[in-house]
Every structure is written in structure tokens, then in C-alpha cells.
Amino acid sequence: MRMEDVEARRAYVQKVRQSFDAPGRRYEFEKNPAAKEEGDRDVFFIKIRLLIAALLFAGYVFCDQTGTLIYRYTAEQVVETITKNYDYDQAKEEVMQVFKRGD
């Protein structure tokens, strides 16, 4: 390498380093405060979904251990229903029948 190339490279590296140290530079979350809070809302939504899933699972385990019926179904029947390969039109009709019986 020639000395001119070395000096040019050194000047370039120094210029890049100084660009990060600019005192007037504002980061994205400083420019737009809403950008920082979007992540907080996403994390909150994920936490709520996880909490709901945990409560559903805990409810299932409780019903399984105590023998409690879930809309006249045992825990084993719920597992069989979930693991079945369903035709969605048939599943829709069964769900409608369950809600009609509840009236």
C-alpha cells in the first residue's frame, strides 16, 4: 500500500468515527416518541396472549384432574375433538349446535 492510500484510509476511518460522535445527532426514538412505544404495545399483547393460553391450559388441567365437564364434554372428549382431522363445515355446524343448546 502506498502512503497516500494509508493516509486516505486513516482519514476515512476518522470521519466515520466522528459521525457517530455528533452531539446534535438524534436517534429515531428521540425524533418520534411513538416509535419507542410500539414495541411496548407488541410485548404487552404477547404477554396477554400468553397469560390467556396459560389460563386455558390450567383450566383444562383442572377439569381433567377433577373430572369436571366442559359444556357436557369430558377432558378426554375435548382432546379427541381437537386431534380429529375435521371438515371445517362440519365443525361449524357442531359449534352452532352447542350454542343453540345453551339457549
Note the pLDDT tens digit of each residue in 22-63: 666 666 656 665 555 556 777 888 999 999 999 999 998 998
Tell whether 58 is covered by a domain.
Answer: yes
* Confidence check: pLDDT of 82 > 70: yes
Q: What is the total count of domains within the chain? A: 2
Return the C-alpha torsion angle 50, 55, 60, 64, nearest 10: 130
Are 61 and 90 part of one and the same domain? no
Contact 47, 36 (CB under 8 A): no
* Confidence check: pLDDT of 102 > 60: no
* Full residue range of the structural domain in which residue 100 is found: 69-103
Tell whether 12 is covered by a domain.
Answer: no
Can you give the pLDDT at residue 54? 96
In DSSP notation, 50-102 reads HHHHHHHHHHHHHHHHHT--BTTB-HHHHHHHHHS---HHHHHHHHHHHHHHT
Q: What is the pTM of this model?
A: 0.43
**Nine cell digits for residue 48:** 396477554
Are 53 and 78 part of one and the same domain? no
Can you give the pLDDT at residue 32? 63
Are 93 and 82 part of one and the same domain? yes
Can you give the pLDDT at residue 48? 94
Can you give the pLDDT at residue 58? 93
